Structure 1
């Protein structure tokens, strides 16, 4: 059996590398040879070239008016029937954490601020590997995001990544600037970038999203902050549509699909999916536009009287919106409608119920963090 295995190793690699990371991780139990091959970093690099499907979404509630953390994290898989929530996915870490970002199977999170000193963790939930990073001298309001591309950066010895922290500061002229601190595994330390960005808006929703070598943050001012950690360049990208275009306040989020930044808007115009074509010129392309009527016709049990519900939510401005897009990845939109969460697939235009919002915590509607997760075999050790 051993001679037959190595005689046909190229065939085995070709076949196995086409399987998903989840299946391959389970197949490590087949034999010692299979475990060695699937754990080999050169095999992992080959397998990563096959685009992995979204496996689920992490959901973590936050307090709206305080800096206190809620170290309770839900994981909602996209497969199977609804109302399936896992709550132990990150319990292999040494303490409760706040999830910050995820890219290519790795997750960046920090310890709750009740811990002192705070710590950063980068982990892979599939193989339960994790490393600890030093917490930089930053304020609690700083936003941190992970930059990691295993096809561009070496993974032969260990995963090579960067963590970027965005903080705001006020100059003597009363201007608000965003500054950037960067951690690199190459140096094993933090340093302050010379780059800064003049911006007075707050970073909202899922915070940093890594797309094609650059990080993006959605702001509450119809702008998107871009930062390239390689050349240390920041830029403010205008949203596809200005605020004056809408009669009411639209709900939006940003995400990634096929290596491109996407902007999702739900408004009186319906559901729109825009794709960034040129960040320097703030040029977008509208790829999908569904009217409210079309959405209701495809999902009558979920979006009954959607126009009326959205109009009535405007008069309740102090309450969370009736419909709220929270995260997007590869054609899948995680969206809350009233008191339930759904997965909307742009390809089919259909909504699949995931879970009741009440099962996700005591305060799940006030600006939760929702992060798409894709599994990978990437090793940190």
Structure 2
């Protein structure tokens, strides 16, 4: 009888692990046995090792000229037929926060300014578990990234091992910017300064760092991308796929991760292009998708009109912008609404009005892709 029960549990575990994380999380309420099985570390490890598509995007508006936060964080899901903006997803945290980055189901936030130094929170919005990290060396000008590899989570681990990496800019003696890296490891519970320094004549574009293929990437405000490997602690500057001088006007650009690789999205007079990084040492990119402006407008005529003309004028900055990319999905704004664009189907989906996300939502928001997972951050 016991052997049969164990066999049934094994079969149930295999069946449940093939469902989406959201569905599995909801099935905890079916029965006590299902609840215990879904919260079992062995099942969580099995679930984490399957591919899960991006679930949605966290969105937080920002002020352009000051560091104080706009304490209004929205979560915009992708899987629903009619999008509903959620504004209370992070209410389980003990204070208001600013979002920083996400990685494989974990979200990294910090205490809202003007509190200084802030606490950094690593949390799982699905199971509402969190832990805090002191950040006495955190700079208000720093940009952060989160490193978490679900394939390294073991069933005997009390909590996942992760790293937080911050990059901050200082002036060097030759007035060229240099970037320093601080690393926090959950294994040691301590911060330390990396010996690595990166010199660059461009400024850091204050967005979240992207974790892809074992390294972290930050977009600069020119045609460079800053790379930092948290294992070797080596940094590198790589070029975006096409230099800015190739374009008649400044293109819309963002970076993100898909299928483990860093990707770069460019929207310009050449159309909408998706590039995958093949070799960061040589800045070799592979063009995986290219849609002309005419074709983009034809395939999404209910949302786009006269796109070529608008991209050629100076009102482009207000009319269309790209913000984030993850797993083949682009988050962008057109006129007064936010949309998602699926590179596989080449179709846009209207998500919400810009006004639904509060004031200052158009210009410099922090947009962080999020993928649901069952990863625990404490006792389950």
| TM score, norm. by length of structure 1 | 0.95
The residue aligned with 1:143 is: 143
User: In structure 2, do the counterparts of structure 1 residues 116 and 198 end up closer, same or farther at CA, with 3 Å as the change threshold?
Assistant: closer
The residue aligned with 2:352 is: 355
2:143, 2:206 within 8 Å by CA — same for their partners in 1? no
User: In structure 2, do the counterparts of structure 1 residues 57 and 353 end up closer, same or farther at CA, with 3 Å as the change threshold?
Assistant: same
Moved more, 150-159 or 349-358: 150-159
Residue 154 of structure 1: CA displacement? 4.4
Q: Distance in 2 between matches of 1:203 and 1:24?
A: 39
User: In structure 2, do the counterparts of structure 1 residues 114 and 298 end up closer, same or farther at CA, with 3 Å as the change threshold?
Assistant: same
Residue 118 of structure 1: CA displacement? 1.3
Residue 265 of structure 1: CA displacement? 0.2
Q: Deviations over 1:160-184 (max 9, x none)?
A: 0000010111222323210000000
Q: Deviations over 1:207-233 (max 9, x none)?
A: 201112111111111111111101111
1:341, 1:355 within 8 Å by CA — same for their partners in 2? yes
Q: Distance in 2 between matches of 1:80 and 1:372?
A: 16
Residue 204 of structure 1: CA displacement? 2.2
The residue aligned with 1:364 is: 361
1:157 and 2:154 are equivalent in the alignment = no
Residue 33 of structure 1: CA displacement? 1.9
The correspondence of residues 71-150 of structure 1 with structure 2, limited to 5 A, is 71-150=71-150
Residue 11 of structure 1: CA displacement? 1.1
Residue 56 of structure 1: CA displacement? 0.8
The residue aligned with 1:58 is: 58
The residue aligned with 1:264 is: 265
Q: Tell me, which stretches of 5 or more residues in structure 1 are unaligned?
A: none
The correspondence of residues 295-334 of structure 1 with structure 2, limited to 5 A, is 295-312=296-313, 314=314, 316=315, 320-334=317-331
The residue aligned with 2:239 is: 238
Other structure's SS at 1:72 match: strand
Q: Deviations over 1:10-62 (max 9, x none)?
A: 21121111111111111112222222221112211111121112111111100
Residue 144 of structure 1: CA displacement? 1.1
Q: Distance in 2 between matches of 1:263 and 1:379?
A: 31
The residue aligned with 1:20 is: 20
Residue 361 of structure 1: CA displacement? 1.1
The residue aligned with 1:290 is: 291
Q: Distance in 1 between matches of 2:241 and 2:116?
A: 42
Q: Tell me, which stretches of 5 or more residues in structure 2 are unaligned?
A: none
User: How many pairs align?
Assistant: 377
The residue aligned with 1:184 is: 185
Q: Deviations over 1:93-149 (max 9, x none)?
A: 011100000111100000111334411000000000000100132320111111111
The correspondence of residues 214-225 of structure 1 with structure 2, limited to 5 A, is 214-225=215-226
| RMSD, aligned α-carbons | 1.6
1:205, 1:368 within 8 Å by CA — same for their partners in 2? no
1:83, 1:356 within 8 Å by CA — same for their partners in 2? no
The residue aligned with 1:193 is: 194
Q: Deviations over 1:42-96 (max 9, x none)?
A: 2111111211121111111000111111121011111224451000000000111
1:180, 1:195 within 8 Å by CA — same for their partners in 2? yes
Q: Distance in 1 between matches of 2:215 and 2:19?
A: 28
1:110, 1:119 within 8 Å by CA — same for their partners in 2? yes
Moved more, 153-162 or 83-92: 153-162
The residue aligned with 2:280 is: 279
Residue 244 of structure 1: CA displacement? 1.2
Q: Distance in 2 between matches of 1:158 and 1:221?
A: 39
1:358, 1:364 within 8 Å by CA — same for their partners in 2? yes
